[in-house]
Amino acid sequence: MGEVAYAAELGEVLSTADEFDVKTAFGEVELREFAAGALGWSPAWVKALFGVRVVFAAMLRLDKPAVSMNARPTPEGMDFTPGSRISFFTVVRAEEGRYLLLEAADNHLTGYLALTVEPGERSNRLSLVTMVKYHRKAGRAYYQVIKPFHHLIVTGMVQAGARG
């Protein structure tokens, strides 16, 4: 897993998370480019998985069985204001150039995604932190089924984000 950059800023979410994961890459990009690249990454196989998710989510009686995937975000088009939307996430808080904390909530769980950038001598350390808080048993069941895919998707996202 690894240490989390800006743990103090993410502390309240980290301290209550039932699941926690960190994927890291290195690159020359800044936060906005990293976020746009990561959140805009959606190869055909990921889109197909989101299609399968609709059926699975309906079986678990989730409030939002379909996830609306808006147009690909651009670095300059993202609004970091708390409450604004980026893709299917809501901005919780952000600090320009350092971190962006996003949330996607449903009746079974709330998922948080934190994108962080730590400047380095040669390149920036880019991390994508996933935190999940279960609301009911269906949340745990849902996450255990998607967990192997989650790791593949988040790894792809962080790599795409590192490319900008």
Count other C-beta atoms under 10 Å from residue 116's C-beta.
25
Q: Alpha-carbon distance 79 to 133, whole Å?
A: 25
- In the numeric block, the tokens 């994108």 are attached to 115
* pLDDT greater than 80 at residue 60: no
- Is there a domain that residue 2 lies in? no
Per-chain mean pLDDT for the chain: 86
Instruction: Specify the pTM.
Output: 0.85
Q: Which residue has the higher pLDDT, 104 or 71?
A: 104
- Is there a domain that residue 148 lies in? yes
**Residue 83: domain span:** 7-163
- Is there a domain that residue 13 lies in? yes
Please state the φ and ψ torsions of residue 65, each to the nearest 5 degrees: -65, -35
- Is there a domain that residue 108 lies in? yes
Q: Alpha-carbon distance 57 to 94, whole Å?
A: 30
Please tell me the predicted confidence (pLDDT) of residue 1: 43
- Is there a domain that residue 134 lies in? yes
Domain count for the chain, please give it. 1
List, for residues 1-38, the tens digit of each pLDDT value. 456 666 677 878 888 899 999 999 999 999 999 999 99
- Is there a domain that residue 93 lies in? yes
CATH code, 114: 3.30.530
63: closest CA among 72, 50, 71, 54?
Answer: 54
